[in-house]
């Protein structure tokens, strides 16, 4: 069953993803709003992946716990145009470890 992908980021980043073919984006400035969107996505059945800009994810309270504990949606932070990857890499590593049962070193 194919699922939908959503991007949660600043307006400029959302525009770039829409140009790349991701039709569903949410431009947010408030981390609380981003969290509410993610929680709503989890309640639905259509979504499989939510990409959140690292700047927004880093200001969301409990982002790492939320990313690891979601059942329906895979939540991944990605570096936006203003920053290099930091916590996003660690979160993605933890999600992969949970999915396959061991850590993969690249």
Per-residue pLDDT of the chain (106 residues; tens, 9 = 90+): 468 889 999 999 999 999 999 889 999 989 999 999 998 988 887 888 899 998 899 888 888 888 888 888 888 888 877 765 555 566 666 766 776 676 766 5
Alpha-carbon distance of 54 to 76, in angstroms, equals: 9
Q: Between 3.40.50.740, 3.30.450.90, 3.40.50.10580, 3.40.462.20, what CATH number should domain 4-100 receive?
A: 3.40.50.10580
Dig out the tokens for 12 from the structure: 């400029």
For the chain, the helix, strand and coil percentages under 3-state DSSP, each to the nearest 5:
45, 20, 35
Instruction: Report the predicted TM-score, pTM, of the whole model to 2 decimal places.
Output: 0.75
Q: Domain boundaries in the chain?
A: 4-100
Dig out the tokens for 4 from the structure: 């939908």
The pairing of beta strand 47-53 with beta strand 25-27: unpaired
């Amino acid at each position: 069953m194919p699922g939908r992908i959503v991007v949660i980021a600043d307006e400029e980043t959302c525009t770039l993803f829409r140009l790349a073919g991701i039709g569903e984006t949410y431009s947010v400035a408030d981390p609380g709003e981003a969290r509410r969107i993610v929680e709503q996505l989890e309640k639905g059945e259509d979504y499989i992946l939510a990409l959140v800009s690292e700047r927004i994810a880093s200001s969301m309270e409990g982002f790492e716990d939320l990313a690891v504990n979601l059942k329906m949606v895979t939540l991944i932070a990605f570096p936006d145009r203003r920053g290099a990857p930091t916590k996003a890499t660690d979160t993605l590593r933890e999600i992969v470890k949970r999915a396959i049962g061991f850590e993969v070193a690249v």
